[in-house]
Amino acid sequence: MLLKEKWITGLISNLNKLPNSIINNLVRKVEELQKKYNTTLLDLEKEIQETEALLCKMIDELEGNEFDKKGLSEFQLLLRGK
């Protein structure tokens, strides 16, 4: 009886907890992945386009000599994908 209480009961108790532990660990890892990839590629693409448009608008406000303006104009064309 003492042997059963000391070894068997504890072992059975730990074996019964094992599936829940594995499932909880899996759920935690899936949630971490969901948080890691929460921002989609479409969201990133939209943010990049908005930033490029804002940068082009800000470049229009810059002043400089003829060569500077020509370089900035080419940079704007590059940002716009033309």
DSSP state, residue 37: T
Q: What is the pTM of this model?
A: 0.54
pLDDT value, residue 25: 97
Give the confidence band of 62 by pLDDT, cuts at 50, 70, 90: confident
Cα–Cα dist 9/17, whole Å: 12
Q: Which residues contact 29 (CB under 8 A, 6 or more apart)?
A: none
pLDDT value, residue 7: 82
**Amino acid making up residue 74:** E
**Amino acid making up residue 43:** D
- Predicted confidence (pLDDT) per residue in 14-60, tens digit: 899 999 999 999 999 999 999 998 988 899 999 999 999 999 999 98
pLDDT tops 80 at residue 82? no
What is the torsional sign of CA 47, 50, 55, 61? negative
